[in-house]
Structure 1
Amino acid sequence: MSQVLTLELSDADYAELRHRAELAGTTITEWAIASLKEHKHPIKPKLRNEIEKASARQRFRRHAGIISLGYATGADN
């Protein structure tokens, strides 16, 4: 099954894509698909259960804390 994706590009962007496709010896569509496949980023799976959520929350909290500089830095001293 295939899907249709319609893009609206500026003339300058379209000319750039056309130029890159010509350099690659392909059509704009083929070049765009190849480029998207090359640069895709994996999507991280969602945390699946409460144990994973709690573990992630604990790892995050390790980054938070109180640091004493040895002198007052705010108006609430």
Structure 2
Amino acid sequence: MSQILTLEISEQVFVAIQRQAAVIGIAPERLAASLIEQRFSQISELPVGEADREVARARFERHFGTLSLDNATTLDNESIDADLAREYINTHEDE
């Protein structure tokens, strides 16, 4: 089943769609409809019920974990700059 949707877009966007449609060889409205369908087709596949949300959350949380670094890491600019400087001057010849 399809629906008719009337849109108002800027002249700049219309020209871009019109040019791309001409390159492909289809009508601008067909290209616009195709782009919208591609963008929103995945939304209908998202879980909608609470049970589906819980299953999706559990699947997502399987990727959670911890990271153990050999040395302490700081996020201040000075230490980052110092680390970068050490790497830039290191020739890595001993490796």
Structure 1 distance, partners of 2:37, 2:49, is 26
Deviation at 1:41, TM superposition (A): 4.4
Between Structure 1 and Structure 2, the one with more helix by share is 2
Structure 2 distance, partners of 1:25, 1:31, is 10
Correspondent of 2:47 among 45, 52, 55: 45
Deviation at 1:48, TM superposition (A): 4.4
Which letter does structure 2 place at the counterpart of 1:27? A
Deviation at 1:12, TM superposition (A): 0.6
Query: How many residues were matched structurally?
Result: 56
Match of 2:21 in 1: 21
Unpaired segments of 5 or more residues in structure 2? 66-95
Deviation at 1:5, TM superposition (A): 0.5
Cα deviation, 1:36-72, whole Å, max 9, x if unaligned, reads 34444423112444xx47x85xx5xx88xxxxxxxxx
CA, structure 1 residues 37+3, in 2 after alignment: closer, same or farther (shift >3 Å)? closer
The structure showing larger relative contact order (alpha-carbon pairs under 8 Å, at least 6 residues apart) is: 1
CA RMSD of aligned residues (A): 2.8
Match of 1:66 in 2: none
